[in-house]
Amino acid sequence: MSYMHKKIGKNDVIYKPINKEKYIGKEGYCVCRSSYELVFCRWADHNPMVLQWTSEPFGIPYIDKTQKDYRGMPKKRRYFPDFLCKILNKDGNVDTWLVEIKPYKETIPPKITKGKSQKTKVYEAKTYAVNQAKWKSAENYCKQRGWYFKILTEKQLLR
């Protein structure tokens, strides 16, 4: 492949790392599901403090209280965080970071405004609740391993 990134769908882009030795993904490339994820890939690929990185490394179990299983219990699901990075810190030690990329509006409680339809209000509330459940599980997962969990939005990525 002679490209650094290539559009493969409405929003998806394949990113092929320049520093191939740093990217530890199985396919040798990562699928970015947003322009924000593409910004992060470029940063991780070119930042000398990032020693290794990969995308959607594994699933973390979480409980989705917005949906029920066949028994009427909250549904068990798996959350696939966007990135896992090994980063050299200022003390010369290597820290492991699990990173989620999200639009800022999905990281804060939804605002109830007059112009929104009921369908939009329900969708935003559900998205927020599911994200909170995912992130709580990710934080616990990282805490058990001595890792860090970080949510990045356009506010950090597009500075």
| Residue 25 contacts residue 82 (beta carbons within 8 Å) | no
Query: Is residue 2 predicted with pLDDT exceeding 60?
Result: no
DSSP helix/strand/coil, 81: coil
7 pLDDT tier (thresholds 50, 70, 90) = low
Domains of the chain in start order, with CATH, are: 5-157 (3.40.1350)
Pairwise CA distance, residues 34 & 147, whole Å: 25
Per-residue pLDDT, averaged over 123-128, amounts to 93
Pairwise CA distance, residues 151 & 99, whole Å: 6
**pLDDT tens profile 53-71:** 999 999 999 999 999 999 9
Per-residue pLDDT, averaged over 79-89, amounts to 97
Positions of E strands within the chain: 5-7, 13-15, 30-32, 50-55, 60-68, 74-79, 83-88, 94-101, 148-152
Pairwise CA distance, residues 52 & 105, whole Å: 29
